[in-house]
């Protein structure tokens, strides 16, 4: 994994065609993650943001993804 910075200086990691960005503030006013997909023309689609009150929120997201993949793949 390679951490890069966007134009606003926010750290992000690309996973496949997804960009996962750590933001100091999302819609809730808390720090959070933004998950967006790349468009074919190299732009980014609008994406989801999840506020993070603690690292447990990120762990819950990872656990949900792992559960779905293990159960349905």
Structure confidence at residue 41 (pLDDT): 84
Where residue 7 falls (left for φ over 0; alpha for ψ -120 to 50; beta otherwise) is alpha
Residue with tokens 């994994």, as numbered in its chain: 1
**DSSP secondary structure string for all residues of 4-63:** EE-TTS-EEEEETTEEEEEES--TTSS-EEEEEEB-TTS-B---EEEE-SSHHHHHHHHH
Structure confidence at residue 47 (pLDDT): 94
27-68: per-residue pLDDT in tens? 999 999 999 999 988 799 999 999 999 999 999 999 999 999
| Averaged pLDDT, 6-34 | 96
Structure confidence at residue 42 (pLDDT): 79
CATH number of the domain located at residue range(s) 4-72 in this protein: 2.30.31
- Taking 90 as the threshold, does the pLDDT of residue 15 lie above it? yes
Structure confidence at residue 11 (pLDDT): 98
Task: Tell me the β-bridge partners of 22.
Answer: 33
List the domain boundaries for the chain.
4-72
């Amino acid at each position: 994994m390679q951490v890069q910075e966007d134009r606003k200086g926010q750290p992000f990691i690309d996973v496949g065609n997804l960009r996962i960005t750590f933001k100091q503030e999302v819609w809730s006013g808390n720090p959070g993650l933004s998950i967006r997909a790349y468009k074919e023309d190299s732009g980014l689609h609008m994406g989801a943001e999840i506020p993070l009150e603690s690292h447990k929120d990120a762990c819950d997201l990872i656990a949900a993804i792992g559960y779905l993949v293990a159960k349905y793949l």
